[in-house]
Structure 1
Amino acid sequence: MIESIIEKAKAESQKGQLASYIPALANQPKDLFAAYLIDENGEVLKFGDIDFKFTLQSISKVMNFIVAAESLGLDNVLDKVDVEPTGDPFNSIVRLEVAEKGKPFNPMINAGAITVASLLPGKSVDARVQSVTDFLAEVTGHAHAVNQEVYQSELETAYRNRAIANYLKANNYLEGTVEEAVETYLQLCSIEVSTEDLAKFGLFLAYDGLDTSQDKRLISQKTAQFTKALMMTCGLYNASGKYAATVGFPMKSGVSGGILGTIQTGQVEHLKGRMGIAVFSAAIDEVGNSVAGMHFLESLSEQYDLSVF
């Protein structure tokens, strides 16, 4: 059953386009597809090109928010960035001009994510990035690096992100300089992962921040709950409401074609209970979500009744 869902999803990728506004992403293979699911018992379902590494892009906003919240305290982060959906494109600047005091609406849009990047622990760009890669390594069990080609490609074309960052700095939301905030944010977007890594992270969130391999809590339950609420309401750009209705569990996508999902309880074939799920297919729609990936998740949720609603 799940194999037929995958075949139909893969065919949908032809309807999407690569994220050509980031030159390095325009070179991604368009025909690759990977899906990885892991449950609370360590049982796995995996399909396709699971060894392919891709960059987190906006999925990094999930990890960045968690690290900042655990370092500074959730309330202190929420003083700088709200938790409200916008319905606007991820790189929109308009809400900063109409919102009271220019406060970013949520950490899953670029304005909020650049703010959060500036709040990460460390006195340098490298230290702030390492705070996130160290955390990611603790969850996945291995080290993660920044793809320098992708990072340089994004840095050279980051005009809009710099404009957003300047507006944030003018309204006293950024720590450090504009360029430090932008560089930190773009390096975080350029961290490489696999679908297995993201699925493990999704399972970690399903356990509300408990690392079951060590029986150790890595983040507070409150931070985990806020993170999943943000993923559900803001995680898929300005299609978040649509996919909350049609898929119905917390997800976060990135324009490289990756999607992170977390399932509190369900059953998919022999997998049961809490689950982490990840999908990758590089062709995205006009909003920024993987076409094949979202088709797969919609069909999977419908077939196996995975929605929380």
Structure 2
Amino acid sequence: MKLARHGRRSWLLSTWLLALAGPGLAFGASPKTATKPSTAATSAARPSPGDEAMPTETEIQQALQKAHQAFRGTKEGKNADYIPYLATVNPNLFGLALVTVEGKVYTVGDATSTFPIESLSKPFTLARLMEEVGAKRVEDKIGVDATGQPFNSIVAIEMNKDHRAGNPLVNAGAITSVSMIPAASSEDRWKKISDNFNDFAGADLPVNEEVYKSETATNTRNQSISALLDSYKVLGSPREQALDLYTRQCSVSVTATQLATMGATLANGGVNPITGKKVISPDTARRTLALMATNGLYENTGEWLYQAGVPAKSGVGGGIVAVVPGRYAIAAFSPPLDKAGNSVRSQRAISQVVNSLGDNLYAATPGTGSQQGTGGAGRDMKQKNPPSP
């Protein structure tokens, strides 16, 4: 019965809210083993399998296909043109990938096409930083509140009473994060950042040198941001080094499938569901997701949560990754962006899939009770109010 199958979301919502309230409450104990991806998601805080039945493989694949078909003809948005390389990318590319915490992979469209990771790099480097120096130091040196400003804002730094970036997921915060990674040299710092990406993705993610050169030649805005941070003595390493490493990490190539695997590692409490490797702690994973929920799509994050109801992060390369904690991550790639720098097709497609599978964390069906969750309320809501192509 469909209602019973999808009637499990109240546990997920309460788990996620507990995660925001206090450390260690959402993901509970660490996975029992890091060598068996199929059991890596098991933790003391999770209910019995009968209370959290996943949609069938057919339902997941059909949800992806329907979303891809619904939005592949969307003409809204345009490629980022302030980075010359991105302006030349085929705007018709469009792919979706979903990876579960059991390590199952589903794709449709251009899910294996590579694109620059750009700002999608931010939460993963942030997670590594929290593992290295602790979450308290990140909060003290950068801040964790949404800025309400565009991702490349300088105003937010000036408005902050301590002249901090305010949030690790805007450019100023990400440059600061890179500068704070403990290392003896720039090369050692980059190795930590790069190895971390590879661990999250379960694959070697190369730097696109053409993108790196293109961004280095045109990153005047980030030069200004890093100079301002440096003037307030916020950075943890020399300004030029921090800016260069930030530019390099944004130039890493990724596919929608690899990005979904990175997100699924967060969904799985820090364990890569494909490789079984523990990348970060459950506490770091839940803190990272909390920041994605509050500032992942910049000034449009509120609208995103209103529509999709799950933590997500975007990048101006056209990618978005969204995470349903304890269940799966879904990634999409489509170059045309809205005015806030978020992929138009990717937003709409992911929102439709999440709601059609009943995984909107804020959806609930009246009268179902805590044991029944949303009863697929997100799915029903989407069917009643389908998005405009």
Question: In the alignment, what sits opposite 1:222?
Answer: 283
Deviation at 1:254, TM superposition (A): 0.1
Segments of 5+ residues of structure 2 without an aligned counterpart are: 1-61, 363-389
Amino acid in the other structure paired with 1:24 = Y
Question: In the alignment, what sits opposite 2:269?
Answer: 208
- 1:256-278 CA-to-partner distances (Å, cap 9, x unmatched) read 0011111125xxxxxxxx11211
Aligned match for 1:20, one of 76, 81, 88: 81
Deviation at 1:121, TM superposition (A): 3.0
Matched, 1:237 2:237: no
Question: In the alignment, what sits opposite 2:203?
Answer: 142
Question: In the alignment, what sits opposite 1:306?
Answer: 359
After superposition, the Cα gap between the structure-2 partners of 1:215 and 1:282, relative to the gap in structure 1 and judged at 3 Å, is closer
Matched, 1:72 2:133: yes
Task: Please give the root-mean-square deviation of Cα atoms over the aligned residues, in Å.
Answer: 1.5
Aligned match for 2:186, one of 125, 146, 160: 125
- 1:158-211 CA-to-partner distances (Å, cap 9, x unmatched) read 111111111111111102221111101110101111111111111111111123
Q: Secondary structure at the match of 2:205?
A: coil
Question: In the alignment, what sits opposite 1:268?
Answer: none
- 1:12-70 CA-to-partner distances (Å, cap 9, x unmatched) read 2x111010000111111111111001223333221011221111100000111011111
Q: Secondary structure at the match of 2:207?
A: coil
Q: Secondary structure at the match of 2:97?
A: strand
Matched, 1:89 2:155: no
Amino acid in the other structure paired with 2:99 = I
Kept in 2: contact 1:202–1:263 (CA 8 A): no
Alignment of 1:43-58 (within 5 A): 43-58=104-119
Question: In the alignment, what sits opposite 2:240?
Answer: 179
Question: In the alignment, what sits opposite 1:294?
Answer: 347
After superposition, the Cα gap between the structure-2 partners of 1:125 and 1:304, relative to the gap in structure 1 and judged at 3 Å, is same
Amino acid in the other structure paired with 1:179 = E
Aligned match for 1:61, one of 119, 122, 135: 122
Identity %: 35
User: Which stretch shifts more, 94-103 or 295-304?
Assistant: 295-304
Question: In the alignment, what sits opposite 1:278?
Answer: 331
TM-score (normalizing by structure 1): 0.93
- 1:64-103 CA-to-partner distances (Å, cap 9, x unmatched) read 1011111122222222111101111000111111111201
Amino acid in the other structure paired with 1:209 = G
Kept in 1: contact 2:257–2:331 (CA 8 A): yes
Matched, 1:4 2:57: no
Could you say which structure has the larger radius of gyration?
A: 2
Question: In the alignment, what sits opposite 2:162?
Answer: 101
After superposition, the Cα gap between the structure-2 partners of 1:141 and 1:304, relative to the gap in structure 1 and judged at 3 Å, is closer
- 1:115-134 CA-to-partner distances (Å, cap 9, x unmatched) read 00101232333322221221
Q: Secondary structure at the match of 2:259?
A: helix
